[in-house]
Structure 1
Amino acid sequence: MKHIILLALISLVTLNPNAYGEIELRAKQMRTTDGLPSNSIRNIYQDSKGFLWLGTLNGLSRYDGNSFLNFQPEINTNGRISLIDNRINKVIEDQNGFLWIGTGPELYSCYDLQKSRFVDFTGSGEYEQNYAYSLFASNGDIWLYHKANGARHIKTKSDRTMTSVEFKTERGNLPDNRVQFIKEDEAGRIWIGTMRGLAFISKGDFNIIDRKNNFIAAITHERDMFFLTDDGYIYWYNTTSGKLSKSAELPAGKIRSNCKFAFKNQWIIFTSTGTYNYDFNSHKVTTDPKLNIKEGIVLSDNRDNYWVFNHTGKIYYILSETGETKELQLIPKGGFYQFHFLFLA
């Protein structure tokens, strides 16, 4: 899911003094006295019907422009499913009209926007299992995964009930339960990277193609897939040959899982020692001649441009089409402040 970084956008507006003459901002502060379940809001999301959903530390709230409808975990519901936990940290709608709610204890709830009720997304009563991350596939399927509990593939049927398949080492369909990422390629294959191996699912069939490497990131380029391991190796899956091979190696340095982005024919990777470029065509690694951002963390916005920060007080805004970079100094040199990003869908 793409995000707009509100804090950085405000900074960009301040760089253009003419923007104040073009935009009129109106604000109204709303608190628990207005109906919110908590003043601590962790996530705001607008669904396809226009409702605002607010994830708080004391439940989920729907705002229709006039009033709040609040949801919290319930006891003794006579079999009716309720919100799994009141500490909400993410809310997003899928293409079938279901709202997926991630909570603090790494549990998910699923809410049917058409029928206005919470549902069993597993189809088997196993919805209280731990999952922390999600992938919304292009065909409408949902993948949930966890760094200790494997993954689950969820399908929505025509009657709006759901079925699911669990992926775990105990079932023989996953090399390791410590899932690092799930990624979809251009052919619709689903790739699962774990701390000890790599697998992909294609047309219902699963294939384990590695059982030893710790894969922390993946990217698709044209029809092929490229993978990064925690020890700095880049692997290339050639769709034509159907083989996975070691392609290149980064210089020594700590690597984060969210430390990279693609620009034209290159994979830009930030490490603790600097910034490196991997060329998809030549399969060679070079030092980036312009960017020198150590331990950069990358987010993308709704225009597919990139925002890079590394807790130094600076944010780098990179245009995906040209590579032009703008450096924003948010914290005065020598000062210390603690920032939190607010994301709006």
Structure 2
Amino acid sequence: MIKLQNKPFLFNAKLTAIWAVSESGIGGLLHALNIPFSGLFLGSFAVLIITYLACISSNKFNVILKATLLVVLIKVTASPHSPPMAYIAVLFQGVLGACIYAALGVNKVSSTIFGAIALLESAFQKILTLTIIFGIGLWDSIKELFNGIQDKLNMDWISDLPWVFLGLYALLYLVIGIFIGLIAIRLPNRVYENAKTINSSEIKFNDNGLSKRKRKKKRIYLIGFLLLFSVLVFVFSGSLNSALYIVLRTIGAIIFFLFIFNPIFNILIQKWAKKKKESQNEPLNNIMELMPSIRRNITAANSLTLKEKNILKRAKLFIINWLSLSLYYHFDDSVQP
């Protein structure tokens, strides 16, 4: 059975473990909620946890940096083949949060600034990745497509649509970042109040409910689609040399990242993690011991949200219930529910 604790136990450690679970096992988390846009959700969740840490810590800078270091170490251990940008995103979010909250304190202004910048970085990181892999040719092909539409329809404004879409894409991440920042500042009180209202009889645990999503196939399909799109645009426009350049450049970039850059990066980060594990052995073990129960709480929290049909309300309720169970409840294995 589960028991409500009057005071949070190992608060910082549990929050760090929750962040580590979301970073190393996001597939199971998103599977429980059935939510798309994993990168957007992952970045938003990091903002919530980092802000939560800032709210309960007196030495915000050190606490957040230590949590960030532990999350990266666990990510290296649990997901050793994660792309380099995934580690960079975690480090950026942690360092940014530590600096902002140490300098400005924890308030609505600092939390919205943090949320906005953190998610904007996530948005532009994706654009940068596409540009590195495909080169300027991808954006040239998009521009070529819209120029062709403009010529046929004789509408001058259509060629500007790609930049409008990019602007709206950035604006979406900015607005969500501000919104998440406002939620984050109120989250600790909301979680505490919710913990006192949870009906333990409605909680169902299912250790086998966290199936991992295979995101590699999705990446391959995305790359294939963008490559085919770029080639077809230039082929139909008569620019065969440009189409051939895009194909060769993209294949070369993929080979470089898969067989040269990523292996070297993984070797370096594994060596760094090995050295850091020696100095962070005790706190790292504490976090690792907490993670199984926190993973189990994912399906428990999901069982408390099944009645909610609105996906956004359900996501918000899920996070609050997951944090409530993980921070304020203790699962007693000696007593059967």
TM-score, scaled relative to structure 1: 0.21
Higher strand fraction (1 or 2): 1
Structure number with higher relative contact order (C-alpha < 8 Å, ≥ 6 residues apart) = 2
> Which has the larger helix fraction?
2
